[in-house]
């Protein structure tokens, strides 16, 4: 009798549980889908996969294994809320397979971070550059006999990429494909690497720390599973979001929110120290020397571009610094108004110093393959060009930036 009652209770409870979970799922998708819900489609009580991946963590992972082992990559980083990470790479390059060498095309690999890799409508800058070259001089008559298919620009970077990632990925993935040309569009992620960690001491500290953290999580799987257990229930996630949105009460921080909280708390500590990390710039400079040496060693054309950034533009144009403060990202309002201004001021001042050093370096190089793009869009309304302190509005990045890179490709390879 007791067993029968227990069985009935279990069945009824399970029905109510799954009904509530399904009901919560429907509400989340219809009402909360745009309300800070990273990778909601992965949430499930019945999976042991992590419910959240920090973009910088995925950047480190691409650093070590990008496409060498497709199965393992998909296993470690499953589908995101939009597309799988590798699917993103294929989408932006308009392919359905791993890139291979095409001896009939002049292959140009374009490195960069999020400003290059993927735009809001899943078009990369690389696609826009190809379109421009198609309309202008894609064939290049002086190259046609050797490369009858003309020029082919392939986006090779990823969000979060800095020069150290470019070196690693260039060696492991790109050089074996024997590129004719490689473009490096960078600056801001090297600055971020050097001004985001209290104990920054090494070239690749951020990625090194993520790598060690990743290895450690494998050893302590049960702990990491327990940490994001609440996110495996749609109902708990919904209740937490509802309390936060309507009553400004947060019952718990999910993995994504805790990651952001730790990041901003760390930045506040850094802003109080208020130190410029010159080593970050030295690493940036030395890494470009390495990239240049690799180009010489493996016989491809290298083009180095210093990217435009908001702080440098505001400083040089003597604009109101509130333009920068307003665009400094804190969508979850983790910091109060005063602390946000402190952190924003810290990053602004140190970015200006980093760009001052970088522009001096590019000027001293005085080579045709080192081009300073920092002033590229300064004749425009800067408040419209940037939608945050790093990223450009698609209208400008796809228009002005892609056109400038395409034109410099034509100049560099001396197209006729």
**Into how many domains does the chain fold?**
1
Q: What is the pLDDT of residues 9-28, one digit of tens each?
A: 889 898 988 888 888 878 77
Q: Does 266 fall in a domain?
A: no
Question: How far is residue 314's CA from residue 272's CA, in Å, rounded to a whole number?
Answer: 23
pTM of the model: 0.76
Q: Does 262 fall in a domain?
A: no
Mean residue pLDDT of the chain comes to: 76
Q: Does 215 fall in a domain?
A: no
Q: Does 249 fall in a domain?
A: no
Tally of residues, the chain: 416
Q: Does 240 fall in a domain?
A: no
Q: Does 178 fall in a domain?
A: yes
Span between the terminal Cα atoms of the chain, in Å: 91
User: Based on the number of CB atoms within 10 Å of its own CB, is 350 exposed (0-12), middle (13-18) or buried (19 or more)?
Assistant: buried
What CATH number corresponds to the domain at position 400? Answer: 3.40.50.1110
Q: What is the pLDDT of residues 84-114, one digit of tens each?
A: 334 444 444 544 445 667 788 898 999 988 8
Say whether pLDDT at 261 is over 60.
Answer: yes
Q: Does 247 fall in a domain?
A: no
Confidence label for 247 from pLDDT (cuts 50, 70 and 90): confident
Confidence label for 208 from pLDDT (cuts 50, 70 and 90): low
Question: How far is residue 202's CA from residue 29's CA, in Å, rounded to a whole number?
Answer: 42
Q: What is the pLDDT of residues 183-200, one digit of tens each?
A: 999 999 999 888 876 655
Q: Does 220 fall in a domain?
A: no
Provide mean pLDDT across the span 225-231: 63
Domain range enclosing 99? 55-204+273-412
Range scoring the smallest mean pLDDT among 96-110, 153-167, 354-368 = 96-110
Confidence label for 254 from pLDDT (cuts 50, 70 and 90): low
């Amino acid at each position: 009798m007791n067993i029968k009652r227990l069985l009935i209770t279990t069945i009824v409870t399970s029905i109510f549980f799954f009904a509530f979970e399904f009901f919560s799922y429907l509400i989340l998708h219809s009402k909360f889908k745009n309300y800070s819900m990273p990778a909601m489609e992965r949430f499930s009580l019945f999976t042991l996969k992590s419910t959240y991946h920090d973009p910088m963590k995925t950047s480190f992972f691409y650093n070590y294994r990008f496409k060498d082992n497709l199965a393992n990559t998909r296993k470690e980083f499953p589908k995101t809320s939009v597309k799988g990470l590798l699917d993103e790479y294929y989408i932006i390059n308009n392919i359905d397979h791993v890139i291979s060498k095409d001896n009939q095309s002049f292959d140009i690999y374009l490195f960069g971070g999020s400003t290059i890799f993927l735009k809001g409508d899943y078009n990369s800058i690389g696609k826009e550059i190809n379109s421009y070259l198609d309309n202008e001089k894609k064939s290049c008559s002086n190259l046609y006999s050797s490369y009858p298919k003309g020029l082919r620009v392939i986006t090779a970077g990823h969000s979060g990429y800095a020069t150290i990632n470019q070196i690693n990925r260039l060696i492991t993935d790109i050089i074996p494909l024997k590129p004719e040309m490689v473009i490096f569009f960078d600056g801001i992620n090297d600055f971020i690497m050097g001004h985001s960690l209290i104990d920054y001491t090494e070239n690749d500290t951020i990625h090194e720390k993520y790598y060690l953290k990743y290895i450690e999580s494998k050893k302590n799987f049960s702990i990491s599973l327990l940490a994001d257990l609440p996110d495996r229930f749609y109902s708990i996630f919904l209740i937490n979001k509802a309390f936060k949105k309507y009553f400004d009460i947060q019952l718990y921080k999910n993995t994504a929110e805790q990651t952001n909280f730790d990041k901003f708390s760390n930045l506040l500590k850094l802003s109080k120290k208020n130190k410029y990390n010159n080593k970050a710039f030295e690493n940036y400079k030395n890494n470009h020397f390495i990239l240049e040496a690799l180009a010489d060693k493996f016989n491809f054309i290298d083009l180095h571009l210093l990217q435009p950034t908001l702080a440098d533009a505001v400083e040089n144009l003597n604009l109101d610094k509130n333009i920068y403060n307003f665009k400094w990202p804190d969508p979850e309002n983790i910091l109060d108004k005063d602390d946000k201004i402190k952190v924003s001021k810290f990053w602004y001042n140190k970015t200006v110093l980093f760009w001052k050093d970088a522009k001096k370096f590019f000027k001293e190089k005085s080579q045709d393959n080192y081009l300073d793009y920092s002033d590229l869009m300064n004749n425009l309304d800067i408040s419209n060009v940037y939608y945050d302190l790093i990223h450009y509005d698609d209208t400008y990045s796809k228009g002005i930036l892609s056109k400038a890179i395409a034109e410099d490709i034509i100049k560099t390879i001396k197209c006729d």
